[in-house]
Amino acid sequence: MSVRPIRTSLVRGAGAVALCALALLGALSSAGRAAAADPPPIGAVEVGALRVRDARILAPAAPDVAAAYFTIENHGDVPDALVGVASAAAATTELHSTVARDGRLAMLPIERLDIAPGAEVTLAPGGYHVMLLGLHQPLQAGDLVTLTLYFERAGPVTLRVPVRPRADG
């Protein structure tokens, strides 16, 4: 977990260097400009051989805690894994699994979530989720939360996760 900030800053650093290089060279790569200018996609995103879809946060009843859910499809020929999550919307962002133990339910942080080639992994209520603890402001249906996912092979990808009414499940 302590590596996450380092990873984040490395990624940001690389982005800043890339931007500077673009500016200095006056490069007019449309791909580069689009990546710099466009806000992250909403609800679904692709990175490498992975597709993340159905991303959502169910409108939380608590002002400071929420959970994000999504499905990851691996269309590649090699395994990949979700190894980190980050969001500026909360003090703590963690990948969790809800598990039963000793007659209780516990939420355990998990270090990685493997996605086999050709397989998909679903984060859903009652199972895997991204826990957002210490939200900086309460969330309501219609809000968008920017979330960055770090994949072992495909690398980082950022998307905006819509907050949906609870009734949607």
Among 129, 149, 156, 161, interactor with another protein by CB under 8 A: 129
Q: Do the Cβ atoms of 27 and 21 come closer than 8 Å?
A: yes
Length of the chain: 169
Shortest distance in whole angstroms from residue 100 CB to another protein: 8
Tokens (6 digits) for 109: 């942080």
- 139-168 residues near another protein, rule: CB under 8 A: 166-167
Shortest CA distance to 130 belongs to which of 103, 154, 148?
148
5 interacts with another protein by CB under 8 A: no
Q: Do the Cβ atoms of 65 and 59 come closer than 8 Å?
A: no
- 44-73 residues near another protein, rule: CB under 8 A: 58-67
Shortest distance in whole angstroms from residue 163 CB to another protein: 13
Return the ∠ at Cα 51 (arms to 88 and 10), rounded to 5°: 40
Among 22, 133, 141, 144, interactor with another protein by CB under 8 A: 133
Contact residues: another protein, CB under 8 A: 1, 58-67, 91-92, 96, 98, 101-107, 125-126, 129, 131-134, 166-167
